[in-house]
Amino acid sequence: MEAFASRQGVRTTWSSEIARWQQDGTRLALVAVVLEGDSQPARKIRGAKIDLSSENARDQVYLDEQATERTRSALKEICEAVVLTGMPGASGCTGAKEFWPGYDWPWNRYHELDVNFCGDSKNSELVLYGRGKPGSFYFPGKSPTILAEVLSTAMEKLKQH
């Protein structure tokens, strides 16, 4: 979706901001978008655009519908792992196999969103980063469940467009 969005003649035909987080100088804006190219026949791609920024880094990640669902499913996997094994611990993190670069997933070659859930029950944080790009974006007190719900809301809104 990122490659499509950067093409000449592609425009946003619909968008809706789903979430905006700002914590300790780190920001996330997640927008459901429909992109359309001016070629004939016109091509449309639906998905989420995620803008991330902090004092040290900026990133923009596009997830088409399939990648959005894969990310939502991976967030659910992280939540289930925490239920089964407990919080990762003060210096630990829990991720999902979909985000692990060691697997040879077809999507690993794309710039998508990767997520870790770190910390213990008193000091937990959601850590987001764009695959293949430097910079991590920390959201204390946020959980994988919250981000999964935001992505679900985006997908529901996209079904109407």
Q: What is the CATH number of the domain that holds 32?
A: 3.30.2450
Domain assignment of residue 133, given as a range: 2-159
Of the candidate ranges 9-13, 40-44, 59-63, 153-157, the one whose mean pLDDT is the lowest: 40-44
% of the chain at pLDDT higher than 70: 97
Tally the domains of the chain: 1
Mean pLDDT confidence for 120-127: 92
- d(CA 80, CA 145) in angstroms, rounded, equals 10
Calpha distance 160→50 (Å, rounded): 20
Q: Tell me, what's the pLDDT at 5?
A: 93
List, for residues 39-66, the tens digit of each pLDDT value: 878 889 999 999 999 999 999 999 999 9
Q: Read off the pTM.
A: 0.90
pLDDT of residue 39: 83
